[in-house]
Structure 1
Amino acid sequence: MPQRKIIHIDMDAFYASVEQRDNPAYRGKPIAVGHSGPRGVVATASYEARPYGVHSALSSAQARRLCPQLIFVEPRHEVYKAVSMQIRQIFADYTDLIEPLSLDEAFLDVSHERSATLVAREIKRRILAETQLTASAGVSVNKMLAKIASDYRKPNGLFTIAPAQIEAFVASLPVERFFGIGEVTAQKMHALGILTGADLRQWDRASLMRQFGKAGGLYYGYARGIDDREVVPNRIRKSISAETTFVEDTDDRSRLATDLAEVCDEVWSRLQRHRFQGKTVVLKLKFDNFKQITRSKTLPKPVDSLSTLYRVAQELLTACDFGGRKIRLIGAGVGNSLEADCDGLQLRLPFDDLI
């Protein structure tokens, strides 16, 4: 089988860079895209804000404490979507195998090209010329390595991990840099004496799976630079969801029911817009200690009306024991799509990737 050539393109501080491009007053200054209210969250921070410790998912209040001169900019999602589509048109000039991960990043399979690095350099040049934005690119033989490489020399970076370099590169890599290994898993690995790819490679597959479940099998491959996942250009939509964060935490069930109705109304609107049919209703609650739970109910047929969606979501809410905690966020969604069922896909409801 011919060796794959995979590029991962990741736009640099995408939302913030668009805002700085469109408003000269923001250029060279620390800005954060997001809501500045007491319950707001930073979506993206400019590179000028990052030395202060401001980053995505940070609360707006904490961001302002870290950087008092921080400028908050309300997000303009329609603008970001338009720029994202412009960038994807550039990708399409080089390959049909494009797998978007979000508005600002995507995998490209360019195995048909003689040099993936030259293609990545050309794509970066065109993005800058046509959008006045910079992108970082990673190039390697699989998705895992390409994604790591794109982050290696940010911003405006280009890094290639050639086949002959893979073993040494992976061996020296801290485990937290591996795709899919978050803070909690990294801490567990550190406790087991696994600090680098070289340490991870000392473990056999069975031992890793005993410690980390199914993910252990992936980690076994990652330690050897192996990732067999293909670039999938047309991913099936598996769920649709919406959520809202309260200005003040609450345990008032009548208030929660009212807000749940508004969330369900938004979900129903999205279901109709995307012509999505699903049989499983999911409720999400995030408590004041940031612990979150989901509850779900699968119906014998797809959700066929807003009233059905709200009735089932409300039943799930009524059955929830708050354990004396207040609620910070409430969300609802519909999954278990008919299309996904036909392809044997597993339900996953990504509330953080709202449509």
Structure 2
Amino acid sequence: MTRRTVRIAMNGVTGRMGYRQHLVRSVLAIRENGGLDLGDGSILWPEPVLVGRRDLALKAIAERHGLDEWTTDLDAVLTDASIDVYFDSQLTSAREAALRKAIAAGKHIYTEKPTATGLDGALDLARLAHAAGVRHGVVQDKLFLPGLLKLKRLVDGGYFGRILSVRGEFGYWVFEGDWQEAQRPSWNYRSEDGGGIVVDMFPHWEYVLNGLFGRVTSVQAHAVTHIPRRWDERGRPYDATADDAAYGIFELDGGAVAQINSSWAVRVNRDELVEFQVDGTEGSAVAGLRRCRVQHRAHTPKPVWNPDLPATETFRDQWQEVPDNGEFDNGFKTQWELFLRHVALGTPWEWDLLAGARGVQLAELGLRSSAEGRRLPVPELSL
């Protein structure tokens, strides 16, 4: 087999997500597997060039993984004709400007979300990339989780009949940082730095709902800051100016209603950190990161409300596990492979910068809905 090299400028790999999921568990994992078999007699070999603001951190990562190239000079990387793809997992507030530069330099684009801090910027990026003729993609990793892949299998197979509702619960307790170190960076809790759970999670809910059940046609949200004071990475107190919880109702094309709670101020009493319950006329399912359980219409018990007597049924035991029926790879790696095939071969691709703009739109409308206390329509977007 012949080997084709694709050089990828990876900006933001010193951050938790950029390093763990995108560099180590995706790009380097593809290399450890011998590259990506393109099916045409060639292997695509990803060659990462590490980009960031902290030279010592970049050097340490490069040495740890036997990589040769790293730099703090983004402009120099983007003028390098040998770079094929620009990937961005920086702070949200820095992303739009970097993506604009990369598009102008003619690089293919793969990026974390949100793609911009506002809808106008996100749509402009999509239009610029389309006009430039570069291939572009946005990370939509949750669609590739084993639990949601099983859920999509059920949807595609008509298991639910007419889908009535979707209920999602996401979140966990993020420590304030005073007596235990916080699990998330402090900028997540400062709106001036692009933080907030609506900005972070509503783009996820847009592509999950759109990809599985139908386009979001309206949103009504209530965003709050439950923990107003936190401590940063150096132990310094700061005011949390961004929302850390959001309670949303989303109407979907076709009539189903989705309710999703998102919170960094909730203690987990569920099997997984995110779970979705789907109820339909013919059956229901509960899907998380990995598991998916179902209850068909024919197997649905008949509970009777009687608060004077203790419940004798174990409701969780009345659900059936959906089998894997296959092996599931890391969701980030799976989407990376699909995008690299798209770059190399022009294979079909649907998770582009316009899809990313829909996520920014939903977050923007969610915050506006919360501020104005009303339900808002979600218009369709186009280039």
TM-score normalised over the length of structure 2:
0.22
TM-score normalised over the length of structure 1:
0.24
Q: Higher relative contact order at CA 8 Å, sep ≥6: structure 1 or structure 2?
A: 2
